[in-house]
Amino acid sequence: MARRTGSSSSGGTGAAETRAAGFTTGMVRAMATSNRLIRVTAACALATFGSSLNAQERIDYEAIAKIRKEGRANSQIMKTLHVLTDVHGPRLTGSPNHKAAAEWVMKQTTAWGFENAHLEPWDFGHPGWLNERFSGFIVSPVKDSLAGEVVAWTPGTSGAVRGRAVRIDPPRCMTPPAPAGGRPGAPGAPAPQVCPTLDELTAGLETVKVKVKGAIVLVGAVTKVPVTLNPPATRGGDEEMRRRYDLDNPAPSPFGGNAAPTPTPDPTRLTANKIAEIVDQFLVANGALVRLNDAGREHGQIRAFNNRTFDIAKAVPTVVLRNEDYGRISRLLDDDRVVELEFNIVNQTYPEGKTSYNVVAEIPGTDKKAEVVMLGGHLDSWHSATGATDNAIGSAVMLEAARIIKAAGLKPRRTIRVALWGGEEQGLLGSKAYVKEHFGTFEAPKPEFATFNGYFNVDSGTGRIRGANVFGPKEAGAILRDVLTPFEDFGLMGATVTASRRSGGTDSTSFNEAGLPGIGLGQDPIQYGSHTWHTNLDSYERIIEEDAVRSSIAIAGAVYHLAMREEMLPRFPKEKMPAPPPSPTPTP
């Protein structure tokens, strides 16, 4: 996108535009004075209108004008996105790509004038893995190419392999029919699934044992994916978002919120993950050539995750085929036709990947430099695409927000620290390790716990920021609401609070879990959940530049404000701090 200078959104008017409009110098000076008065009046009105919890919040409109101008005139977002996706994508945790991306961030932030840019290691505990090459074909009774993605931490094929296709349908977790009176429990809670016992699964696998030796095995029946007649919304309406981010009475998210807690598993039955592990071991023990899974999604979308053991010796080469190809092969088999397939998969493992990294850089503060405001997102991605919407664009937006503050010549009182995490996709591992190392918890704090002043997180695709949710008391939400109000023209509609210390979903919750103010930023969904999230379509082309530019400018304004205000962001006092979540129950 071409640079924009002198636009109203950047707070200034170009000389040529002024002359063309017929304004004299004196008129312009008068207008400037009037605009300053309007801004001051607006600030006062905002403070008066705002919650009595936060009656004196002061907005620095001159700083916001500088931030808007720099963000519009000199945006580096798409350049950063290009490097993170096209050059270093995909960025699977433990892979050379992920480390190279983190090293590039370290060098680039230093070039922008940040200080103390460095990698912080943490123990991933598994070797790195990378798929270098994949091809698949139907050889007989027709000839065609197959579209698929390789499951991470599975072995390659040691050259091209051919085999007869067979399909097995071992016992699996299933949702029983709903009773006539409806299901008990909270509305929207996931329906409980009934999974097989170990004896039931073993018996089911025994019946297909003779079929799999030397075969290419389709595991499970084909998923029937209906045609989408009513696609999900891509934008949230302003009124809808105002209700969602109403501090006093927030409406439920129309796009889905945090998942309900997982029901406690029945200890007599297997989990879905354990079933997959046992089936993998069965295929290895009985000489299967390749395992094929159904992507089960429309329009060729594929999500390929990982072998849960992270041990390539405990799985056969495994591919997730697009639903259209899996379905075609299944129908040919249902006709009792002999189907022959061929695959060639080249994967590499990297022992050094057992150590992974977060990358951190800072803009040092002045009189309050011992206190820190953080912003960031996860740098790692899944491997089916280059990880643009999840989460290269989030990383690029946060890097850009910090760059804007530095390039605009602003001098924050508190230190601003940008951090990009590894291991988010495997369970928030990088951010959890960082919080543990630097801050501890409310119950067992380290020295830095007391000087932490909030962490802003982006991790929901290309959509523009629409609001914030902070772990803390209502006073904290009121501050963020007022801080975001000057960016209402960008679509920001408010802030809400949460008292949940349950981690999951994204890295801001690692801070919440410790009792620290994590700030999750909500976004327009665009095509995130429906098309790009964790799929083979998650590429550079799916990014909306204007949305990303707006987000970076608004976040820069909010981060700078928290770095400048006299007091730190309010936290729960000791007597109101929510209890930490219970330790997770080990799964069988």
pLDDT at 21: 33
Residue 179 pLDDT grade (very low, low, confident, very high; cuts 50, 70, 90): confident
Digit-coded pLDDT (tens) for 469-527: 999 999 999 999 999 999 999 999 999 999 999 999 999 999 999 999 999 999 999 99
- Three-state DSSP class for 119? strand
Concatenated DSSP letters for 321-382?
A: E-HHHHHHHHHHHHTT---EEEEEEEEEEEGGGGEEEEEEEEE--STEEEEEEEEEEE----
Is it the case that residue 339 has pLDDT exceeding 90? yes
Tell me if 9 is assigned to some domain. Answer: no
Q: Are residues 206 and 250 in the same domain?
A: yes
Q: Are residues 403 and 344 in the same domain?
A: no
pLDDT at 519: 98
Q: Are 89 and 381 in contact (CB under 8 A)?
A: yes
Is it the case that residue 348 has pLDDT exceeding 70? yes
Q: Torsion-angle region of residue 220: left (phi > 0), alpha (psi -120 to 50) or beta?
A: left
Q: What is the CATH number of the domain that holds 143?
A: 3.50.30.30
Q: Which domain holds residue 372?
A: 57-125+357-576
Q: What is the mean pLDDT of residues 277-286?
A: 97
Q: What is the mean pLDDT of residues 50-73?
A: 82
Per the model's pLDDT, the better-predicted residue between 118 and 24 turns out to be 118
Tell me if 370 is assigned to some domain. Answer: yes
Query: What tokens were used for 61?
Result: 């409109």
Q: What is the mean pLDDT of residues 277-293?
A: 97
Between 21-25, 136-140, 564-568, the lowest mean confidence (pLDDT) is in: 21-25
Share of the chain above pLDDT 90, in %: 82
Helices 474-484 and 545-564 meet at what angle, rounded to 10? 120
pLDDT at 8: 32
Is it the case that residue 125 has pLDDT exceeding 50? yes
Is it the case that residue 441 has pLDDT exceeding 50? yes
Which of these three, 331, 352, 373, is where a domain ends? 352
- What is the identity of the amino acid at 571? R
Residue 190 pLDDT grade (very low, low, confident, very high; cuts 50, 70, 90): low
Q: Are residues 223 and 106 in the same domain?
A: no
Residue 182 pLDDT grade (very low, low, confident, very high; cuts 50, 70, 90): low
Tell me if 82 is assigned to some domain. Answer: yes
Per the model's pLDDT, the better-predicted residue between 30 and 236 turns out to be 236
One-letter-per-residue 3-state SS of 430-443? HHHHHHHHHCECCC
pLDDT at 175: 86
Digit-coded pLDDT (tens) for 402-412: 999 999 999 99
Q: Are residues 236 and 160 in the same domain?
A: yes
Q: Are residues 212 and 199 in the same domain?
A: yes
pLDDT at 29: 38
Is it the case that residue 12 has pLDDT exceeding 60? no
Helices 272-285 and 198-206 meet at what angle, rounded to 10? 30
Q: What is the mean pLDDT of residues 408-432?
A: 98
Least Cα distance to 507 among 433, 572, 437 occurs for 433
Q: Are residues 144 and 201 in the same domain?
A: yes
pLDDT at 266: 84
Beta-carbon neighbour count of residue 377 at 10 Å? Answer: 29
Which of these three, 303, 336, 352, is where a domain ends? 352
Is it the case that residue 418 has pLDDT exceeding 80? yes
Tell me if 334 is assigned to some domain. Answer: yes
Is it the case that residue 540 has pLDDT exceeding 60? yes
Is it the case that residue 40 has pLDDT exceeding 60? no
Distance of alpha carbon 244 from alpha carbon 469, whole angstroms: 10
Residue 11 pLDDT grade (very low, low, confident, very high; cuts 50, 70, 90): very low
Is it the case that residue 438 has pLDDT exceeding 90? yes
Q: Are residues 240 and 336 in the same domain?
A: yes
Share of the chain above pLDDT 70, in %: 86
Is it the case that residue 578 has pLDDT exceeding 90? yes
Residue 466 pLDDT grade (very low, low, confident, very high; cuts 50, 70, 90): very high
Residue 262 pLDDT grade (very low, low, confident, very high; cuts 50, 70, 90): low
**215: Cα separation from own chain's centroid:** 37
Q: Are residues 493 and 560 in the same domain?
A: yes
Q: What is the CA radius of gyration of the chain?
A: 26
Q: What is the mean pLDDT of residues 132-159?
A: 98
Is it the case that residue 30 has pLDDT exceeding 60? no
Tell me if 52 is assigned to some domain. Answer: no
Tell me if 585 is assigned to some domain. Answer: no
pLDDT at 583: 77
Tell me if 72 is assigned to some domain. Answer: yes
Start-to-end Cα distance in the chain = 52
Residue 188 pLDDT grade (very low, low, confident, very high; cuts 50, 70, 90): low
Tell me if 374 is assigned to some domain. Answer: yes
Phi then psi dihedrals of residue 546, to 5 deg? -60, -40
- What is the identity of the amino acid at 372? V
On average, the pLDDT of the chain sits at 89
Q: Are residues 88 and 166 in the same domain?
A: no
Q: Are residues 308 and 417 in the same domain?
A: no
Q: Are residues 248 and 263 in the same domain?
A: yes
Is it the case that residue 296 has pLDDT exceeding 80? yes
Which of these three, 304, 327, 352, is where a domain ends? 352
pLDDT at 185: 54
pLDDT at 48: 37
Q: Are residues 402 and 472 in the same domain?
A: yes
**206: Cα separation from own chain's centroid:** 40
Is it the case that residue 585 has pLDDT exceeding 70? no
The number of folded domains in the chain is: 2
Query: What tokens were used for 51?
Result: 């919650």
Q: What is the CATH number of the domain that holds 487?
A: 3.40.630.10
